[in-house]
Homo-oligomer: A and B are copies of this chain.
Amino acid sequence: MTRASSRRPGPPTRTERGIPEATVARLPVYLRALTALSDSGIATASSEDLATAAGVNSAKLRKDLSYLGSYGTRGVGYDVEYLRYQIAREIGVTQDWAVVIVGIGNLGHALANYSGFGTRGFRIVALLDADPNLVGERIGDMEVRDFAELEAIVKADRVSIGVITTPAGPAQEVCDRLVAAGVTSILNFAPVVLSVPDGVDIRKVDLSIELQILAYHEQRKSGEAALPQVPELPAMNGLTDLPSVGGGVGA
């Protein structure tokens, strides 16, 4: 309503107002699927093909892509390379984002070594830790630097993304320092709820929460009906060489 009045008449201009969050979260999945198809030498794919590769249904995929524009051809499908570029551009990974990792324990180590940081689009510019015993240690082709250098590094390398891999204790303080230094996006692996001012985005990765969600569902499986689909369920003791299963079950 308020919005309609400020819109000129005519066909809706795509991307006029932002893309839904649920869609944004799936774009990287589509990007990866397209990269895989491209690597297999596939030049064209239907929404059905793409949806299968991305693990969603095709209606959802088409709806998601429709927020970006009309990049497909009716009766044909999508050009893999073209769509891949359009999505990469929309996400913002056609440019490189400078990233710092703070807290070089086991997890920080692992992320520092993570080759290419998964996909292109990100560049680790510094590994930081406050522990003098760690400062100076080489990891791959980088050296751990003192957390005190944060501000200088953020300024020099225009860092906009910070990854927090400290323990829970110092995480909020590290977060505050990152924000004060000018970092506006944070990926938090520490098991705490961090508070940030408006304008700063924060995402959280939490192993123990993920496991607990699985445990919840697991608990409900052992309980009642929801056991595996196989009609006669082997008693799980003694049998080591089960006959192959799946013939004639259901449709």
Contact = CB atoms under 8 A, between A and B. Distances in A.
A173 interface: no
B193 A53 contact: yes
B32 A215 contact: no
B210 A161 contact: no
A191 interface: yes
Contact of A214 (B107, B158, B187, B215): B187
A207 B111 contact: yes
A59 B191 CA distance: 23
A55 B195 contact: yes
Contacts of A208: 28, 117-119, 122
Interface residues on A, range: 35 or more
A203 B213 contact: yes
Interface string A8-44: 0000000000100000110111011100000000000
Contacts of A184: 218, 221, 228
A91 B216 contact: yes
Interface stretch (A69-77, A92-100, A128-136): A92-100
A157 to B, nearest CB: 12
Contact of A161 (B31, B185, B214): B214
A193 to B, nearest CB: 4
Given A119-B208, A228-B199, A92 B193 contact: no
Interface in A183-221: 184-187, 191, 193, 195, 197-199, 201, 203, 205-221
A218 B110 contact: no
B229 A198 contact: yes
B187 A211 contact: yes
A28 B204 CA distance: 13
Contacts of A18: 220
A10 to B, nearest CB: 22
A177 interface: no
Nearest to A244: B180
A2 interface: no
Contacts of A53: 193
22 contacts: A27-B212, A28-B206, A28-B208, A92-B219, A97-B211, A97-B218, A111-B207, A118-B206, A119-B208, A119-B212, A122-B208, A122-B211, A161-B214, A184-B221, A185-B217, A186-B214, A187-B207, A187-B211, A187-B214, A199-B226, A203-B214, A205-B205
